[in-house]
Chain A
Amino acid sequence: MLDLSVNIAGLKLKNPIIAASGTFGFGREFSEYFDLNLLGGISVKGLTLKPRKGNEPPRIAETPAGILNSVGLQNPGVYSFIKDEIPFLRRFDTAIIANIAGNTVDDYCRIAEILSDTDIDAIELNVSCPNVKEGCLMFGSTAEGISKVTSAVRKVCKKPLIVKLSPNVTDITEMAKAAEDSGADSVSLINTLLGMAIDIKSRKPILGNIMGGLSGPAVKPVAVRMVYQVSKAVKIPVIGMGGISDADDAIEFILAGASAVMIGTAGFVNPYVWVETLDGIKQYMEQHGFKKISELTGALLD
């Protein structure tokens, strides 16, 4: 019997597969395609204090082996999430990770405080969204910014706290250390890489917001490298993501040091990617004689 369970500083997952924030809504749509009980967890669409309408379309551009998106945190707000979405998600045996975003430190603290008294399993601090003008990446692009927001949220947050890191920085290990030193229980990485695409016929940017976040297989090697570096630099568990499309990809991240993985963009093309990845990891473990998924974490022979 394989032990796929993962414990990330009190966040108990029955397996290491998590749906990545911003690609999975609140699970309703994908629940029509597969049984959400199969997931270790769901990181929900980024939540803000008040509802956000999001950016002008077009919000997506296809690029080689990936996409750029500029959704801009369209969400119904934290109160609507508590009222309508937590009861829906609680029908499934899967961890609920609330991804939160704000314009100010006070925003982050307020949302974390509100969510601490609800039936969720962890909070993921989004300090890495490249698609909103204020806040968010402003905090996530410097170690000082990460320290400031993480330590403030830590004081009011009663749930396991994950800080989601941006790759748009000079040294990702400095960011991870800042999060760890400020009380984060875990870091997740990478968020999207800031990018741009141009329609040469119209000579205009494809995205309504001009720039957007790159995700998909194109970013995977960058993400694996960053997960590897961060895993060596911090003691807290690392959640890896960035371009995972199948079990082989997920295992790369785990070998590089990730305790769990998040999958998102690949689900736009293959709605069963989460389940197929889990099955593939099990097969790999059986073939290679691993009994516990935790034995695989950081098992890279370097």
Chain B
Amino acid sequence: MSFNVVIDKTEKLAEDIYFLRLKSERVSGKAVPGQFVNIKCSDGLNTFLRRPISILRTNPVENTFDIVYMIRGKGTRLLSCLNSGDTIDCMGPLGKGFTLPEKGEKICVIGGGIGVFPLLFLLEKSIDVNKTAFLGFRTKDLIVLQKDFEQVTNRLIISTDDGSFGENGLITKPFLDFLETEKPDRVYTCGPLPMMKTVAEVCIEKNIFCEVSMEQRMGCGIGACLVCACKTRHNDDYEYERICRDGPVFGAEKIVF
């Protein structure tokens, strides 16, 4: 469905990173972690396509859902100019989400940059689960929603590429160290491709259930146009699957990185 949703709240979280709370009974009632909405940023033709943005959380009681996005181009810049009370044309929820853990399991999420947001939704929906989150950011000023993550994890490890906060360097290092002594039941990752590749490879090697959330330039968002292709393994060969429909979440073992 494509429909208009009203903006309930907007907030600038960091430089070029914005929060939106939107009113929609449909999305708040139906969305599962890992899914996204496809948003029309303007009626003009200069930003012709919709922008796929993953869902941060839903609130079925208040009939709202939240998204966080980074300004990357004209479309997201226009989106950042909107205010509470404005309406946006939105499609969703779309795509295949994460497999939720079972009660009593131990899970890890590894997120990088704007890839951390769908992981918060997953952590919130993982009830009676032991949760460790590894989140990597470029620098201290870009760390957002730290408190929200603290509230839904047993342990939160943050790293910055420049060492300005938390661990110094890539987030994969503390995660790999963690795996030396611990074995989570499930690992979920979303963020830069090299990070997800490292996480996927170590999980496959250690036989740990792992899901990755992929990103690609998208067209229709519903699986018809075949542009958001992701190379996946099929026996000894490969196929291109649709990130918008067959994903964005895939089993790590399926992806040809």
Contact = CB atoms under 8 A, between A and B. Distances in A.
Contacts, number: 102
A81 to B, nearest CB: 15
Interface in A19-49: 22-25, 28-30, 32-33, 45
A280 interface: no
B229 interface: yes
Interface stretch (B7-15, B18-26, B28-36, B212-220): B212-220
A61 B217 contact: yes
Contacts of A61: 217
B48 A71 contact: no
A182 to B, nearest CB: 31
Contacts of B221: 268
A271 B223 contact: no
Interface string B201-238: 00000000000000011111111111111110000001
Contacts of A58: 216-217, 227
A69 to B, nearest CB: 6
B239 interface: yes
Contacts of B245: 29
B240 A53 contact: yes
B38 to A, nearest CB: 9
A69 B230 CA distance: 15
A67 to B, nearest CB: 6
Interface stretch (B39-47, B117-125, B180-188): B39-47
B226 to A, nearest CB: 5
Interface residues of B, number: 30
A54 B224 contact: no
Contact of B227 (A59, A65, A272): A59
A195 interface: no
A66 B222 CA distance: 18
A83 B121 CA distance: 40
A28 B224 CA distance: 8
B219 A268 contact: yes
Contacts of A30: 222, 224
Contacts of A59: 217, 226-229
B230 A57 contact: yes
A217 interface: yes
B37 to A, nearest CB: 14
Given A57-B217, A270-B2, A62 B224 contact: no
Interface string A269-290: 1111000000000000000000
A187 to B, nearest CB: 24
Interface in B179-202: none
A67 B48 contact: yes
B1 interface: yes
A60 interface: yes
B79 interface: no
B50 interface: yes
Contacts of A268: 49-50, 219-221, 225
**Candidate in B45, B216, B221, B245 with the most chain A CB atoms within 10 angstroms:** B45
Nearest to B216: A57
Contact of B228 (A33, A57, A67): A57
Interface string A212-236: 0000111000000000000000000
A54 B218 CA distance: 16
Given A32-B222, A58-B217, A69-B219, A53 B238 contact: yes
A253 B221 CA distance: 28
Contacts of A67: 48-49, 219
Contacts of A272: 2
Contact of B48 (A69, A216, A271): A216
A299 B35 CA distance: 48
A103 interface: no
Nearest to A71: B226
Contacts of B46: 64-65
Contacts of A25: 223-226
B91 interface: yes
A74 interface: yes
A267 interface: yes
A63 B73 CA distance: 12
Contacts of A216: 45, 48
B48 A23 contact: no
Contact of B45 (A33, A45, A69, A217): A217
10 contacts: A33-B222, A53-B239, A54-B226, A57-B231, A67-B49, A69-B225, A69-B227, A267-B220, A269-B40, A271-B220
Interface of A: 22-25, 28-30, 32-33, 45, 53-54, 57-67, 69, 71, 74, 206, 216-218, 267-272
Q: Report the 10 A-B pairs with minimum CB-CB distance, sorted nearest first.
A: A65-B45, A60-B227, A59-B227, A29-B224, A268-B220, A25-B224, A57-B229, A58-B217, A29-B223, A29-B222
Given A23-B224, A29-B220, A60-B227, 5 more contacts: A60-B219, A64-B45, A66-B45, A71-B226, A218-B45
